[in-house]
Each structure stands twice: as C-alpha cells, then as structure tokens.
Amino acid sequence: MFSYITSWPHPIPSAWFIADPATMFIDCLGGDIITKMQDDKTGGVPIRTVKSFLSKIPSVVTGTDIVQWLMKNLSIEDPVEAIHVGSLIAAQGYIFPISDHVLTMKDDGTFYRFQAPYFWPSNCWEPENTDYAIYLCKRTMQNKARLELADYEAENLARLQRAFARKWEFIFMQAEAQVKIDRKKDKTERKILDSQERAFWDVHRPVPGCVNTTEMDIRKCRRLKNPQKVKKSVYGVTEESQSQSPVHIPSQPIRKTTKEDIRKQITFLSAQIDRHCLKMSKVAESLIAYTEQYVEYDPLITPAEPSNPWISDDITLWDIEMSKEPSQQRVKRWGFSFDEVLKDQVGRDQFLRFLESEFSSENLSENVCSLGHPALSPGLHSDRVGPWRQLLARGLWNACGLPSTSWVVADSSFLRLPTSSPSQEHIYKLMKSDSYARFLRSNAYQDLLLAKKKVSLGRAGPPFLALLTLACCLLLA
C-alpha cells in the first residue's frame, strides 16, 4: 500500500510505520505533499477562481486534479489507492471540501481548498472548548448563508452556552471583537479565511459519526510512555511471540498475599462503602453557595465595614466594640448556622438570654461545658463533676431535658474521657433543630438584625465640644 513512499525524496523513520500511519502524514508527508502540490514551478495542481451565478469561488482545485497529481508524483498506479491517500491527507485537514463538513476525497469535480499553514495539525493544536464557543458565537453574528450553523453545531453551541454560563458574556465580547476585525479585511480574503477556519474545527470538532483524527488510541499512548511494560492477558496466558521489547526484563518474584493485606483491603473497602458519594456538580454548587454566603466577611474580597482603624483614620470599629452592641453584619452571620452563634461570645450571650426567657438555659450550659474541653485529661475530671452535679444529676429543679435512654449513659460515663456521648448529641440536636430556629424567629434577634448604626454625639470628643462652645458664644454675642 505504501509503495509510493519509497520514491519520496525525504528519509522517513521506520518507527512511524509501526506507531501510526496518521502520525507519519502529520509529521512529514502531509505538509511536504501540500507544499509541493501548490508549487507551480514543479508542476503543482492548478489553482483557479471559478465563476458561478452572481459570485466567484476563489482559490479552489478539483478532486480529479488532486487524484491525478498524487498518481503522477507519488508513483501510484491504482486510482483507489490515490483516493485513499488523498482521504488521509484531507482527514488531517490539509485539504478540505469547500461545501461539506465531512473531510473526504472524491475523484470528481468537487471543489477543494488548501489549508493555511497556520492551521496545519503539525503545529500540534489543542484548542479549548472556550475557543470553539467563540468560533460558533462568531458564526451566529454574521448573517450569511455560508456561515449558517449546521444542526450539530447549533447543539454544540447550546451545550457550551450552558457549560460556560458564568463567563458567556466574556465569550460573546471576544467573538464580537473578532467579527469587527474580520469586517475590515478584503471580501475574497475573508471568504477564504472563513472556510479555512471552518475546516480547522471540522478536524478538531468533527461531525458526529466521523473519526476524530486528533485523538490517539489510549493503548498506544500507554505503550509510548511505558515501552518496557509487558502485555497482560485477560486469562493469564502469555505468548512469547507477542513481546515487542528486545530487552530482557528480569522477572520479579510475586509476593503472596498475607492476612494483614487482606485485613487492610477489608478496611479500605468498608471505608469506601461508608463514603458519601456526591456528584461533582452538587459539590461545586455547595462550594459556590458557601463562598457567596461568606464573601461579605472576607476582607480580601470585600472591604471591611467599618474599616480597620489600624490602617485608616476611622475609629468607628472601636466605638462599636466599646458599646458592646453587635453590628448588623455580625448579627446577620448568626443566622447562617448554629455553630456561628456558639463561636461568637456575644452570640452565645444573646442566645443564653433567649433560653433563660424560655427556662431552658441549662441545655446551653451543659453543651458548652462538654464542648469546652475537647481533650480533657484524667487529672481534670474534677472540673466535670461540678457541671454534672448541677445539670445531669437526677431530681434537680434545673436538670437537662434528656430522654430516659440517655440518663443511664450519663450516669455511667460522666467521669470518662470526653467523647461524643448520647446526652451531648441529644442536647446539641435539640438546640439546633428547636431552640435555634425559635431564636431566629424571636423578637430579640429581629430587633438586633434590623437595628441601625447609631452614632452618639457624646462620643464626639473635645473638638466637638470646643466647636459647640464657640458657636454658643457667637450666638450670645
């Protein structure tokens, strides 16, 4: 099949025949053949401008001329083989039909055009989906029949628009800028460039059902990366004749599986079963929602209000801290989660006042005592006896509201090392699901949330008093 290659003047490495014929054409023959095919001095293919009804088709060649040139210059005797070689070259994008998205070679009067060297696949293009989105968006901005999107291109555009919804405005602006640049070019040049750009994307984003010549078989990629790797058989049978590596690889002894290995595998599989499997889209949505919720409290993104008095002349922050009244932004953060209330000292005080109004403040006291010593040592067990006698002992007027199943555990485990006991979990869940929700709906929290910043005139300082005294003196005079 490749008998004509022996007549080609350039030396061709034999490894290319083993790797992939398409790689051979991309690296050497494709570009050289196209360059020689366009050379008029050495008898290249005649390139002409064809006149049609009310228009001209510039810089085209026919499929018959290409096939005849291949048979003549590559010493190909069979026309079928010449068509096959032309189809291989066209599949790589060096030659393309001007009116079809399917890159094949036909021995007829179909018009073809040569691809610009800038778009040759030998330049190792790896276009991104954003580039493809800009190209499709640019096509929709030009009201011309030859630039109308095909059905599969319209589907790709809709899918890309959903995928890049957050930065679609940027893509649209890029496409709009490219359209303005293209309109300044000559009409004939613009027509040729549009067809060459379309052929470039027909190679890298082919029509459904066509082979993507830019992709490489994953098995070939693995063999290129690991040439010493021995082929594996499905049923454990290996053939000595299939080994392509002439280098002798010493066989390593296979280690027998031990009980410890099996135990580790069981532990790993058990952990995998207990894992919560989430879709990447759900994880991304959660991260985006969390970031948008806390973006107001990130000083690197949002400037702090009031500003930091150490880097500015505004001392409003110190005045707010001295007044011991929480700011509106701070109160708003308490509504994010129950943990935000517990982490803030002022939030805990406000929540404790609310619980005292409902006669359930002992729940917060017990929970804070439990959470306050995450790594309590045996020598500090006496610190826990006091809260237990006050809150968990039976028969007290202010005992915690625990179910009967948790009382037994609380009686027997209050002197042990602190862990997540059932009593602590019950109280925490009770406050999170019931007390915290009622706290957010209470009038006390709503009043703090809707309170406006008040600036007291009494804190204006001596300069304000001096001005006020001077104004009074002027009025009396």
> 124-128, 136-140, 383-387 — which is least confidently predicted?
383-387
What's the pTM? 0.45
Please give the structure tokens belonging to residue 87: 């189809």
Is the preceding peptide bond at 306 cis, omega within 30 degrees of 0? Answer: yes
Does domain 129-184 sit in CATH 1.10.1240.60?
Answer: yes
> Could you please report the per-residue DSSP string of 220-242?
HHHHHH-TTPPP--TTS---GGG
Question: Is the model's pLDDT at 5 over the cut of 50?
Answer: no
User: Which comes out higher in pLDDT, residue 150 or 409?
Assistant: 150
Q: What is the dihedral of CA 140, 143, 146, 151, to 10 degrees?
A: 40
Does domain 306-457 sit in CATH 2.40.110.10?
Answer: no
Instruction: Read off the pLDDT of each residue in 279-294 and give the average, rounded to a whole number.
Output: 90
Question: Is the model's pLDDT at 460 over the cut of 50?
Answer: no
d(CA 432, CA 251): 62
User: Each residue of 318-369: pLDDT tens digit?
Assistant: 877 777 678 788 888 898 988 898 888 888 888 888 888 877 665 565 555 4
Please give the structure tokens belonging to residue 51: 């006149």
d(CA 457, CA 464): 9
- Residue 467: how many CA atoms within 13 Å on its side-chain side? 6
Q: Which of 97, 101, 111, 115 is nearest to 34 (CA)?
A: 115
Instruction: State which H helix or E strand residue 462 sits in.
Output: helix 462-476
d(CA 30, CA 165): 39
The architecture that CATH gives domain 3-123 is Orthogonal Bundle (1.10)
Instruction: Read off the pLDDT of each residue in 237-260 and give the average, rounded to a whole number.
Output: 56
Residue 285: what are its φ and ψ, rounded to 5°? -65, -40
d(CA 382, CA 392): 15
d(CA 96, CA 61): 10
Question: Is the model's pLDDT at 370 over the cut of 80?
Answer: no
User: Which comes out higher in pLDDT, residue 66 or 217?
Assistant: 66
Instruction: Read off the pLDDT of each residue in 226-230 and give the average, rounded to a whole number.
Output: 58
Please give the structure tokens belonging to residue 63: 């499929």
d(CA 362, CA 379): 25
User: Each residue of 44-89: pLDDT tens digit?
Assistant: 898 989 887 778 889 999 999 999 999 999 888 999 999 999 998 9
Q: Which pLDDT score, from 0 to 100, does residue 160 have?
A: 93
d(CA 119, CA 194): 12
Quote the radius of gyration of the chain (alpha carbons, Å).
39
Q: Where are the domains of the chain?
A: 3-123, 129-184, 306-457
Most confident among 3-12, 241-250, 441-450 (mean pLDDT):
441-450
Instruction: State which H helix or E strand residue 58 sits in.
Output: strand 55-62
Q: Which pLDDT score, from 0 to 100, does residue 175 have?
A: 92
Q: Which pLDDT score, from 0 to 100, does residue 430 have?
A: 81
Instruction: State which H helix or E strand residue 111 sits in.
Output: strand 111-114
Instruction: Give first-to-last CA distance, the chain, whole Å.
Output: 115
User: Each residue of 386-436: pLDDT tens digit?
Assistant: 444 444 444 544 455 555 554 444 444 444 444 456 667 777 888 888 888
d(CA 94, CA 364): 75
> 18-32, 58-72, 352-366, 450-464 — which is least confidently predicted?
450-464
> 23-32, 105-114, 432-441, 465-474 — which is least confidently predicted?
465-474
Question: Is the model's pLDDT at 95 over the cut of 80?
Answer: yes
Percent of the chain with pLDDT over 70: 66
Please give the structure tokens belonging to residue 16: 């290319």
Chain mean pLDDT for the chain: 74
Q: Which of 58, 5, 51, 45 is nearest to 28 (CA)?
A: 5
Instruction: Read off the pLDDT of each residue in 258-276 and give the average, rounded to a whole number.
Output: 87
Q: Which pLDDT score, from 0 to 100, does residue 229 have?
A: 56
- Is residue 331 classed exposed, middle or buried when 0-12, 13-18 and 19+ CB atoms within 10 A define those classes? buried
Q: Which pLDDT score, from 0 to 100, does residue 475 have?
A: 52
What's CA 135's distance to the chain center, in Å?
Answer: 21
DSSP state of 266: H
Place 288 in a pLDDT band, splitting at 50, 70 and 90.
very high
Question: How many C-beta neighbours within 10 Å does residue 113 have?
Answer: 19
Residue 96: what are its φ and ψ, rounded to 5°? -150, 145
d(CA 111, CA 96): 9
d(CA 346, CA 355): 14
d(CA 329, CA 334): 9
Q: Which pLDDT score, from 0 to 100, does residue 17 have?
A: 40
Contact between 140 and 189 under an 8 Å Cβ cutoff? The reply is no
Place 252 in a pLDDT band, splitting at 50, 70 and 90.
low
Place 96 in a pLDDT band, splitting at 50, 70 and 90.
very high
